[in-house]
Amino acid sequence: MNHARLGLSALFALSLVGCPDAESPSSANDEPQMRVTIDLSKGADNPSFTLSHSESRSFRKRVEDLEEQKNRVLPQPGQGGYQGLVLREIGRGDGRPEYRVKNGWVVVKSPTSQKGYADPLRKTEAWVIKAGQRVVPAAAYEEVRRELDSK
């Protein structure tokens, strides 16, 4: 009887301690947050905001769910005006990837590679700018919304 009670006590104690996994709050906050810059023009002070840990995780998941476009020419930034949303992980070294989201594409650049993912309905771009709606200047938000609505 004592062995059974001891076993149940041990099981209860383990359930309280738990095991860290991808869904636990402590490990969820281990992933770096993403800093979003609205690239409006070269050389200007572009507005930016930070996604929460949850939003950053959701952004990464959205990109993972997109189809990589192998053997396709990736779009390049233009000369002026809205150049897309640029996302970078906060607190990582120079090897961190840069995500550029614009016009139905998510282009992921790292020091050694560049990959493009198709997002023809521009859902990722719309989702990211909506996340920053309350914190970015209204004029910048509206410029991106006009761009999204025009295509």
Half-sphere exposure of 135 (CA within 13 A, CB side): 15
For the chain, the domain total comes to: 1
For residue 1, being part of any structural domain is answered with no
Helices 53-65 and 123-131, interaxial angle, to 10°? 170
For residue 2, being part of any structural domain is answered with no
Q: Hey, CA dihedral for 91, 94, 97, 103, is it positive or negative?
A: positive
pTM: 0.76
Q: Is a pLDDT exceeding 60 seen at residue 35? A: yes
For residue 9, being part of any structural domain is answered with no
Identity of the residue numbered 97: P
Share of the chain above pLDDT 70, in %: 75
Q: Is a pLDDT exceeding 70 seen at residue 2? A: no
The three-class DSSP label of residue 95 is coil
The whole domain housing 114 covers: 31-149
pLDDT at residue 45, as a whole number = 85
